[in-house]
Amino acid sequence: MAMLPSLASAASPSDTVDGLMRPATLPRAIIFDLDATLWSPELFEIAGRPFRRVLTKGRGKKGLTAAHTVVDRRGTPIGLFSDARHVLEELATDRRWEGVVLGLASRTDCVEDAHELLEVIQITPTHTMADLFPRHVRQIFPGSKRAHFQRLHEITGIPYREMAFWDDWDLNCRDVSRLGVYCCHVPEGLTLSRWEKALDGFARRKEEEGW
């Protein structure tokens, strides 16, 4: 199992981890929205905490990974989109991501519900979403996404242009992109095609701008 990303390895794009160099074309920070980007339904649509894991078989509605579904206090299921789970598993286990900071930028009003849900949803048998996204890089509060990214920039010291962001709401993407962040609109939630397209687009922009 690979070491999860941390701020300690984020200082330089040429850092090495156990002799392996992070590809220079990757963003130094990967940031996701939560509601309707990584999971469904949105937090305001459900009853909220306490959350608990349930074991089921097969695929849930809307492409959710039913085997890993969590339910709220009324038994309403909430879970990751299947492609989002695949991406998060890659981030947790693929060593090329060890030098990349992972963060969240969510404008939900259900702040404590979001933090608790991150503790409950598992990415691998040994890691939850909370392990993948440490508390200090979870910007979860109502308001403009620009404020979320300003805090992320202050905390990590990473330039905006070296961050990539995925969000289901186009307005958020347009707002954050003005800071220089590379943004990807995912109206149907995070998909593998949008994930890979954004990484390719980020690499092309970096090459074209020569930094």
Catalytic residues: 33, 35
Q: Coil, strand, or helix at residue 40? A: strand
Count of residues for the chain? 211
Q: Which residue has the tokens 């969590």?
A: 70
Name 91's Cβ contacts closer than 8 Å, sequence gap at least 6.
5, 30, 97, 100, 102, 132
| Apex 165 CA angle, 164 and 168, nearest 5 | 155
Q: Which neighbouring-strand residues pair with 29?
A: 101, 163
Q: Return d(Cα 206, Cα 2) in angstroms, integer.
A: 27
Residue 19, class by beta-carbon neighbours within 10 Å (0-12 exposed, 13-18 middle, 19+ buried)?
A: exposed
Residue of 33, 16, 17, 14 whose CA lies nearest to 25: 14
